[in-house]
């Protein structure tokens, strides 16, 4: 796994992009930057084992390098299922394709995976028993978030599951500052320097726009999801499950 040192070297004002440079270090970046990330991926596999139905589709929207895709694939117990892994970034799709191909060679799993380079807003969700948005929605414009959620709800079968993981903000300003400080300390403990933390935060400004947990739950409920719950929270990162 290649070490993420992008913001040791990059000192200009370029916004964050999912390019080849990021793709090379992305697993290390996720492990060191997102507290609770490994637990989220593990739970996606467990949820797939419990809720994916035979002869249905599963979607990993904003799949990056396919960690959630592989977790679903390993968890699925039913036959006739297919996973559609979608990302708009060419560099991510190329590397994800290689990772899935290696998984095919090593384990010859029954569940097929199709990796698609596309804008997730243009993907038709059909006959779905599980959809994953793992730290993806936060990169869309607000209006697009509502439209995407309606599209997902429409394409899920009854009883179908959405897993939504996001960085969030707290309604209370003092608590929000505490969560920011704890997250920065988490990154320092994972050997990011203060300069790297500052540079990356600047690069993500206006690119990653978080919302409150309440805003996410309101959107899900207004879209028609019948049950929603936060199953994991670690500082300002949450994972929510919602059922159609």
Residue-wise pLDDT tens digits, 91-149? 999 999 999 999 999 999 999 999 999 999 999 999 999 999 999 999 999 999 999 99
Which pLDDT score is estimated for 98?
Answer: 97
Which pLDDT score is estimated for 14?
Answer: 79
Question: How far is the C-alpha of 22 from the C-alpha of 92, rounded, in Å?
Answer: 9
What residue ranges define each of the domains in the chain, with the CATH number in brackets?
A: 37-169+207-243 (3.40.50.150)
Which pLDDT score is estimated for 1?
Answer: 76
Which pLDDT score is estimated for 12?
Answer: 59
Q: What are phi and psi of 186, to 5 degrees?
A: -60, -45
Question: How far is the C-alpha of 146 from the C-alpha of 36, rounded, in Å?
Answer: 26
Which pLDDT score is estimated for 8?
Answer: 87
Stretches in the chain below the pLDDT threshold 70: 10-12
């Amino acid at each position: 796994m290649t070490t993420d040192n992008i913001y040791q070297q990059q000192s200009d004002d370029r916004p964050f992009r999912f390019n080849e440079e990021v793709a090379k270090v992305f697993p290390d970046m996720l492990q060191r930057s997102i507290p609770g990330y490994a637990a989220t991926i593990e739970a996606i596999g467990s949820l797939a084992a419990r809720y994916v139905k035979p002869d249905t589709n599963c979607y990993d929207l904003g799949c990056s390098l396919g960690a959630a895709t592989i977790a679903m694939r390993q968890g699925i117990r039913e036959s006739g299922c297919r996973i559609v892994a979608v990302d708009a970034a060419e560099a991510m799709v190329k590397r994800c394709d290689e990772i899935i191909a290696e998984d095919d060679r090593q384990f010859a799993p029954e569940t097929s995976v199709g990796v698609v380079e596309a804008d997730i807003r243009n993907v038709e969700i059909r006959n779905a028993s599980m959809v994953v948005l793992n730290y993806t929605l936060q990169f869309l414009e607000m209006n697009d978030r509502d439209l995407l959620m309606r599209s997902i709800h429409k394409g899920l079968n009854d009883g179908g599951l959405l897993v939504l993981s996001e960085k969030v903000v707290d309604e209370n300003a003092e608590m929000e500052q505490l969560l920011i400080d704890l997250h920065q300390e988490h990154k320092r403990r994972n050997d990011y320097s203060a300069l790297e933390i500052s540079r990356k935060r600047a690069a993500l400004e206006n690119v990653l726009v978080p919302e409150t947990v309440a805003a996410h739950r309101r959107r899900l409920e207004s879209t028609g999801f019948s049950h929603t719950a936060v199953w994991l929270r670690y500082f300002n990162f949450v994972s929510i499950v919602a059922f159609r």
